[in-house]
Structure formats: C-alpha cells, structure tokens
Amino acid sequence: MTDTPPPPAIKPARPWFSSGPCAKPPGWSPDKLATQSLGRSHRSKLGKARLALCIDLMREVLEVPDTHRIGIVPGSDTGAVEMAMWTMLGARPVTTLAWESFGEGWVTDAVKQLKIDPTVIRAGYGELPDLGQVDWSNDVIFTWNGTTSGVRVPDGDWIADDREGLSIADATSAVFAQDIPWDKVDVLTFSWQKVLGGEGAHGVLILGPRAVERLESHTPPWPLPKVFRLVSKGKLAEGVFKGETINTPSMLAVEDAIFALEWGKSLGGLTAMKARADANAAALDRIVQDRDWLGHLARDPAVRSNTSVCLTLEGADDAMVKAMAKLLEEQDAAYDVAGYRDAPAGLRIWCGATVDTADIEALGPWLDWAYAAARA
C-alpha cells in the first residue's frame, strides 16, 4: 500500500471554491454590510430605496441598457426562470436546449409541467449542441453557461436578429464574468449567489421590450401562482422593476448584494470582473496542462466556462472524488470542489471574480496531494 504523501505547506488563503453559493468578495465581513434597512419594512421609503439602489447597481455594473427592465424576484435563479416560462410560454412553439442538469430541468418543466411538447436539442456533458439547429420562430430556452458541465455558449451570434420567438437565457453563472449582448436577449435570469458571491433565495429577472410585449399580449392557459404574476389589468407591473418586490425579500441578502455590487464597481465594473474570472480560469488551465491525470470536461476552449470549470480525473469514480473533496475540506485547503451529483465524476472549481488568482494557483499542489492520498 502506498504511503499518503505529506500535505503541501501553503494553503489557499480563502479556500472557497463552491459553485454556489460562491466565495464572498475579498474583504467581505458581516460588519461591513449596511444595517439601516434591517428590521425595516421593504415597503418603507428606506426599504424601497435600498431595493432600487440594488437594481440601479446591477444595471450599472452589468451595463444593462435602459430598454431592459430589472426585477428582484423570489426563488433564486430557478424562480426567475420558471416565472418567465409560466408567464410567457404558450404563445408559439418552444425549443429547449440542454447540455447539463439545469437545462434538463427546464426541459422537464416544459414537457411534464406545462405540457407544451417542446423541440428538445441536447448534447452530453462537456459538449455544446449544434446551435445552428435552432428555429427562431420558436421561443428558445437555454443556459448561457452550464454550471454543472462547465460548457457555455461562445457568444450571442447564433441568436437571430430577426427572431420571432423570445430568447430566454438562464445566465446565472455567466453574468458579471462573460459578455452578454443585450440586443440578443429578451429574458435573462440569474441569482446573486453565483458570480457576486451573494446569498441565495433571490432571483433577478431582466426583461427586454419583446418580453414585455409578450406579457401584455398573451394570457397563459394555465394557472399562475401569485409569486409569478407580472401583469395587472393587462399591463406590466412596473413596480416590480423599481424595487416593489412581489413577496417579502431578505433585506440582509439585499444589503449583501449591494456590498458585492459596490465592490465590483470599485474594481472597474464589468471589465474588471471579467478579467478576474479570465485570470482565474487561465491559472486553473495551467494546473490542468501540467498534469497528465487532470483534464477539462469541456474539451473545446471556445465553449469552456471561465466560472464553473469542470475537471476530469484519470481513473476516478464518484467515491474517489468524494474522498478527495473530504480530504481537502479536512485540511481547510478547498471547500465544495466535487462535481455536481448528476455530472460525470470529477471536480468543479469556481473561478468567478470573487476568487483570487493566487488561491487558484495555491490549489494545484493540494490537488496533487488529494489525488495521491485518495488513490493510496
């Protein structure tokens, strides 16, 4: 039996590599959050002002044009996607794209819950489906960045300018790290818990003009829960997009998001946040290239994520991956790095903007150690 090697001497200073909730921004601590809104009604003048500030900061940092509305909604990214599906689908045929578990979740919603018999275009983990197959007379639902496979769409060029249907993008692990061409997106969703390192439970729904037109002209044939209702008397409920949330938000989570947004703004905004994610992904790729036993699940660099980077390990099964993750956590060297439960056995390392490149670089020797120890 092989002896377990000694652990490396240097640990990542912040070993948070989870793909959601992700690492907090550098310098974060609870005492740095504004507290004046805590214990206050979200309907108060102060509460609405803080919610409106959060929306304004998201627009500024994400560079969202004035043509698009931004709303804070319940249920994290899942709630935001399902709000869009339940309120807008049914007006025309639907195409769903799936190349990982969350995309498959939207397929299930369309097929089993809404029963709209969509066209389904699939690819396996690590691959991207043929985007040229998409018929843009349909409403199209897709993940911009597949969080559980590490595969993203390369850009928005495949989205037709003259589309008849809506483009509905689950972009929860893409925003703040990848370019979003807003003229190509009718509906975009995300949650604060990914690239911002914010708290869960709240989603963000961004609507372009064509989505608003759909909401005001189309009445779905199925019942709508109260938390999904975006239209009142045939018109968009504009208050939702000015901080008047549909249900009671956590003002603590809102203040946490404001902190992260102000941090991103202080760096230099979207350009700086994308650069940090790119630097982290490049550092992790150097680790992979230096090791014969490590590989990328997304083999094509053109469609490889710069946030949720998924890795393959030679000879590893789920049990070995779990053993590696346990060893790394016990050493406080890396937390929550096992791949998603439905994905092929491997690791998933979050490389978003809230992670420091030095910590990615320090992770390499620890992966060597955990791989050798788990095999031993």
Quick check: is 234 in a domain?
A: yes
List, as one string, the DSSP characters of 234-265.
Answer: TEE-GGGGGT--SS---HHHHHHHHHHHHHHH
Question: Rounded to whole angstroms, how far apart are CA atoms 197 and 260?
Answer: 7
pLDDT in tens, 97-112: 999 999 999 999 999 9
Residue 59 belongs to a domain with what CATH number? 3.40.640.10
CA dihedral 262, 228, 186, 299 (to 10 degrees): 70
CATH at residue 311: 3.90.1150.10
- End of a domain among 236, 265, 294? 265
Tell the residue number behind the tokens 């102000």, with chain if given.
Answer: 262
175 and 84: one domain?
Answer: yes
In a domain, 5, yes or no: no
My answer on whether 180 and 256 are in the same domain is: yes
What's the pLDDT tens digit per position in 222-254? 999 999 999 999 999 999 999 999 889 999 999
Provide the pLDDT for residue 2: 54
> In the 8-state DSSP scheme, what is residue 16?
B
Specify whether the CB–CB gap between 366 and 11 falls below 8 A.
Answer: yes
Distance CA 329, CA 338 (A): 11
Structure tokens, 203: 């989603």
Q: Which residue type sits at 254? A: V
Asked if residue 240 and residue 183 are part of one domain, the reply reads yes
Q: Give me the chain's average pLDDT, please.
A: 97
Percent of the residues in the chain that have a pLDDT greater than 90, as a whole number: 98
Give yes or no for a contact between 368 and 345, defined as CB atoms under 8 angstroms apart.
no
Phi, psi dihedrals of residue 107, rounded to the nearest 5°: -60, -45
Residue type, 124: G
Q: Are residues 224 and 260 in the same domain?
A: yes
In a domain, 346, yes or no: yes
Measuring CA to CA, which residue among 186, 157, 188, 161 is closest to residue 172?
A: 188
> Does 252 reside within a domain?
yes
Q: What is the mean pLDDT of residues 203-229?
A: 96
Domain check: are 261 and 275 in the same one? no
Distance CA 143, CA 169 (A): 6
Between the alpha carbon of residue 369 and those of residues 5, 319, 324, the distances in Å are: 7, 17, 9
Domain boundary residue, one of 265, 290, 311: 265
d(CA 215, CA 154): 29
Residue 299 covered by a domain: yes
Specify whether 338 is located in the same domain as 291: yes
Q: What value does the mean pLDDT take over residues 266-287?
A: 98
- Provide DSSP, 304-367: B-SSEEEEEETT--HHHHHHHHHHHHHTTS-BS-BPPTTSPSSEEEE-STTS-HHHHHHHHHHH
The closest alpha carbon to 244, from 23, 98, 73, belongs to 73
Contact 284, 264 (CB under 8 A): no
**Are 189 and 207 in contact, with CB atoms under 8 Å apart?**
no
222 with 326, same domain: the answer is no
Per-residue pLDDT tens over the stretch 134-186: 999 999 999 999 999 999 999 999 999 999 999 999 999 999 999 999 999 99
- Which structural domain range is residue 145 located in? 34-265
Same domain, 183 and 279: no
Taking a C-beta distance cutoff of 8 angstroms, is the pair 360, 349 a contact?
yes
Instruction: Please say which residue of 265, 296, 331 terminates a domain.
Output: 265
244, part of any domain: yes
The answer to whether residue 1 scores a pLDDT higher than 60 is no
Tell which residue, 299, 355, 366, has the closest CA to residue 20. 355
The percent of residues in the chain predicted with pLDDT above 70, rounded, is: 99
Q: Are residues 257 and 284 in the same domain?
A: no
Q: Is residue 294 part of a domain?
A: yes
User: 197 and 137, same structural domain?
Assistant: yes
Confidence of residue 291 (pLDDT cuts 50, 70, 90): very high
Same domain, 68 and 183: yes
Residue 333 placed within a domain: yes
Asked if residue 276 and residue 255 are part of one domain, the reply reads no
Could you tell me how many residues make up the chain? 376
When divided into structural domains, the chain yields a total of 2
**Intra-chain end-to-end CA distance of the chain, in Å:** 7
